[in-house]
Amino acid sequence: MNPLNITRSDTASGPVLHVVGELDYDQAATFRRHVDQLVLTPGQWLVIDLTGLEFCDSSGITALLAARQHAHAAGADIALAAVPAKTMRVLTIVGLDRIFTIRPDADTA
């Protein structure tokens, strides 16, 4: 099991959370705390960079949905960047690929 590591960088369009490790039942609350601490403004983009994501279970998917809700409640939008193939497959199966904006990398988000 690899611990979850979340770092933040800021861009002109909004914050980017870089997620490394496993976003699972044990780590979803940590991710949600990071997201809940973000102060977003209308028109901003919250980018979740999943380049280093090694595993994501249903709790992780739920945490990503909570991040979407947090962004939309602030009038901001959200994009998932560099989604790993296995996670993308799950998002596609459950139809969340139509709910989230998906970008190939954080730079294009």
What is the set of domains in the chain, with CATH numbers?
5-108 (3.30.750.24)
**pLDDT number for residue 96:** 97
Among 10, 87, 85, 21, residue whose Cα is nearest residue 52: 21
Residue 39 token pair: 């102060």
**pLDDT number for residue 2:** 74
Rounded to an integer, what distance in angstroms lies between the CA atom of residue 88 and that of residue 54?
A: 12
Low-confidence ranges of the chain (pLDDT < 50): none
Query: Burial level of 104, CB count in 10 A (0-12/13-18/19+)?
Result: exposed
**pLDDT number for residue 6:** 98
> Looking at residue 4, what DSSP letter applies?
P
**pLDDT number for residue 3:** 87
With the CA atoms of 18, 19, 21 and 22 taken in that order, what torsion angle do they form, in degrees rounded to the nearest 10? 180
